[in-house]
């Protein structure tokens, strides 16, 4: 259910393993890898800066990684994906921060980027946040940050470049013990060191094919109505700020992946369940899943006489992990008992076994599907009716797992839920949707069984059955990009230093 396998598996995680690595070379041309998803390019640049700390200037290195489309069309938004920055501080800067903020510090990064095309330029601000981390000494410190960045829309054809510019680092102290006032944040402006090449990405942009055919009276991209070249100021790329983040990143539980298995992954997922009888959506808090990828099988399937499709299949397993237990974190829910009495409760999904993850990438048809099957029992606790506590005891739960109608009739056993993630290749050859290397949306519909074990001294189970249980409850999950915890290198910077996922997704409705 979370950061589960994408259609192609995570090739980077196995590239150091002899025969498996050889298979990677054969398949790399048709499947999305960890560093480059289908139709995308993954860029990484190491930039040198000189930062004006209070005690004097200090050299700082920042590595920026992001995903861009391999190509784009005019008028189509370009959204840099999975943007991460990694700032390395020298010993002298660490010592200075230690005097100001103690042994822990967090940071925000403000990177000004220049977007240019055909001589026209625009600026976009990339913001990132790094969680508080220890300040080691000696040896410097590395602060990794993630965040949303603006989209870019090209008004004309031609190569579009994104280049890093000025940088500002703002260091925030960890909360002071005993409620004492915390030191003020420290803002440090930085300029690029001489000789630094700040180019982050080049995206070839072509004129949209529909311009000439569907609107012949409209001037071609990059030209005026009389056919003359459009001035740079008129065709400057436009910048659209990102939508506000809604996820509470501080609430993400620990999710350290297995560092001993080269096929191990760890990922965060969150989302909503629209419970029909509640008349609204119940948030599923950010939770952790750990996955072990299965072997990949390349299969040539004859769909009709003489016509074949090339499929890449993978079966993997996963498990939920919250403080060592196979469950999601407890989350709040609100519903109406008897249709009018406001009731709040804490809901937890408890796994009854491993997750089953099956991926099928049909490269010929440009479509991929990932089915995730999970057996999850719903537990209810901390109930209040109209603000008054209601003692439901420790065993208030559904009589069995929530379940979906399985698309495979042989597996439609009414004891597990099914989520589907889809990947599709557009006419521009860019793949969009759910895959392992980028995460994405997962959808399903479940039936909630009757409740049992609710109440102390009296049976309250019928109350919850009447208020919650029933069919057609939609589930929408959003999985972030996974951390390949079983490998040492992390060029995409999808892992923190202690091998936890660096990407925390926001819930989707």
Q: CA-CA distance, 87 to 367, in Å (whole number)?
A: 38
pLDDT band at 413 (very low <50, low <70, confident <90, very high): very high
Domain ranges of the chain: 40-207, 249-479
Which one has a higher pLDDT value, 49 or 140?
A: 49
Tokens of 354: 């491993």
Least confident of 53-57, 182-186, 422-426, 471-475: 182-186
Cα 98–Cα 148–Cα 127 angle in degrees, nearest 5: 40
217 C-beta neighbours (distance < 10 Å), count: 5
pLDDT at residue 214 is higher than 50: no
Q: CA-CA distance, 41 to 333, in Å (whole number)?
A: 41
In 3D space, the residue among 257, 275, 276, 259 whose CA is nearest the CA of residue 267 turns out to be: 257
pLDDT band at 274 (very low <50, low <70, confident <90, very high): confident
**Per-residue confidence (pLDDT) for residue 156, from 0 to 100:** 83
Mean pLDDT score of the chain, rounded to an integer? 78
Residue 102 buriedness (CB in 10 A; 0-12 / 13-18 / 19+): middle
Please, are residues 370 and 7 in contact by the beta-carbon 8 Å criterion? Answer: yes
pLDDT at residue 310 is higher than 60: yes
What pTM, to 2 d.p., does this model score? 0.56
Residues in the chain: 509
Which one has a higher pLDDT value, 298 or 451?
A: 451
pLDDT at residue 307 is higher than 60: yes
pLDDT at residue 429 is higher than 80: no
**Per-residue confidence (pLDDT) for residue 437, from 0 to 100:** 66
Average pLDDT over residues 226-233: 36
Least confident of 5-14, 344-353, 369-378: 5-14
**Per-residue confidence (pLDDT) for residue 140, from 0 to 100:** 66
Q: CA-CA distance, 332 to 337, in Å (whole number)?
A: 16
Q: CA-CA distance, 66 to 43, in Å (whole number)?
A: 6
Q: Which CATH class is domain 40-207?
A: mainly beta
Which one has a higher pLDDT value, 372 or 243?
A: 372
DSSP-assigned beta bridge partners for residue 113: 124, 164
What pLDDT, in 10s, does the model give residues 455-498?
A: 998 999 998 898 889 999 999 999 988 998 888 776 566 888 88
pLDDT at residue 252 is higher than 80: yes
What pLDDT, in 10s, does the model give residues 116-138?
A: 888 888 778 787 777 766 776 66
Average pLDDT over residues 74-96: 86
Backbone angles phi, psi at 338, to 5 degrees: 60, 15
370 C-beta neighbours (distance < 10 Å), count: 27
pLDDT at residue 28 is higher than 80: no
**Per-residue confidence (pLDDT) for residue 29, from 0 to 100:** 26
Average pLDDT over residues 282-304: 88
Which one has a higher pLDDT value, 433 or 178?
A: 433
Which one has a higher pLDDT value, 142 or 318?
A: 318
pLDDT band at 239 (very low <50, low <70, confident <90, very high): low
324 C-beta neighbours (distance < 10 Å), count: 7
């Amino acid at each position: 259910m979370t950061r589960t396998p994408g259609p192609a598996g995570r090739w980077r995680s196995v590239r150091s393993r002899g025969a498996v690595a050889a298979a990677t070379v054969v398949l790399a041309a048709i499947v999305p890898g960890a560093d480059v998803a289908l139709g995308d390019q993954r860029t990484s640049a190491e930039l040198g800066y000189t930062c004006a700390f209070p005690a004097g200037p200090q050299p700082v290195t920042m590595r920026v990684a992001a995903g861009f489309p391999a190509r784009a069309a005019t008028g189509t938004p370009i959204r840099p994906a999975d943007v991460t920055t990694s700032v390395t501080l020298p010993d002298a800067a660490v010592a200075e921060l230690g005097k100001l903020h103690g042994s822990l510090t967090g940071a925000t990064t403000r990177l000004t980027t220049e977007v240019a095309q055909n001589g026209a330029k625009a600026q976009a601000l990339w913001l990132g946040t790094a969680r508080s981390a220890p300040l080691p000494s000696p040896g410097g410190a590395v602060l990794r940050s993630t965040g949303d960045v603006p989209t870019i829309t090209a008004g004309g054809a031609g190569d579009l470049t994104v280049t890093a510019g000025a940088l500002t680092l703002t260091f925030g102290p960890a909360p002071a013990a005993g409620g004492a006032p915390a030191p003020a944040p420290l803002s440090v402006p930085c300029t690029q060191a001489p000789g630094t090449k700040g180019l982050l990405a080049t995206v070839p942009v072509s004129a949209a094919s529909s311009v000439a055919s569907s609107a012949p009276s409209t001037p071609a991209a990059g030209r005026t109505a009389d056919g003359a070249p459009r001035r740079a100021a008129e065709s400057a790329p436009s910048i659209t700020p990102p939508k506000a983040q809604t996820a509470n990143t501080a609430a993400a539980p620990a999710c350290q992946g297995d560092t001993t298995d080269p096929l191990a992954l760890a990922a965060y997922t969150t989302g909503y369940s629209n419970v029909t009888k509640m008349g609204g959506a119940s948030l599923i808090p950010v939770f952790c899943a750990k996955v072990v990828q299965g072997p990949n099988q390349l299969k040539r399937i004859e769909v009709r006489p003489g016509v074949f499709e090339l499929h890449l299949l993978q079966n993997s397993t996963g498990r939920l992990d919250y403080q060592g237990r196979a469950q999601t974190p407890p989350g709040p829910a609100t519903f109406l008992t008897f249709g009018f009495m406001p009731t709040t409760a804490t809901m937890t999904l408890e796994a009854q076994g491993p997750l089953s993850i099956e991926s099928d990438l049909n490269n010929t048809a440009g479509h991929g599907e990932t089915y995730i099957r999970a057996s999850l029992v719903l537990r209810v606790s901390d109930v209040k009716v109209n603000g008054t506590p209601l003692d439901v005891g420790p065993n208030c739960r559904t009589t069995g797992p929530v379940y979906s109608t399985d698309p495979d009739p042989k597996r439609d056993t009414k004891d597990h839920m099914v989520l589907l993630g889809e990947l599709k290749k557009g006419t521009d050859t860019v793949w969009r949707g759910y895959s392992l290397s980028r995460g994405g949306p997962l959808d399903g519909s479940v039936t909630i069984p009757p409740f049992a074990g609710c109440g102390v001294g009296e049976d309250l189970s019928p109350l919850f059955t009447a208020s919650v249980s029933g069919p057609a409850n939609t589930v929408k999950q959003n999985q972030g990009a996974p951390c390949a915890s079983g490998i040492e290198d992390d060029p995409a910077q999808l892992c923190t230093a202690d091998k936890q996922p660096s990407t925390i997704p926001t819930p989707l409705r």
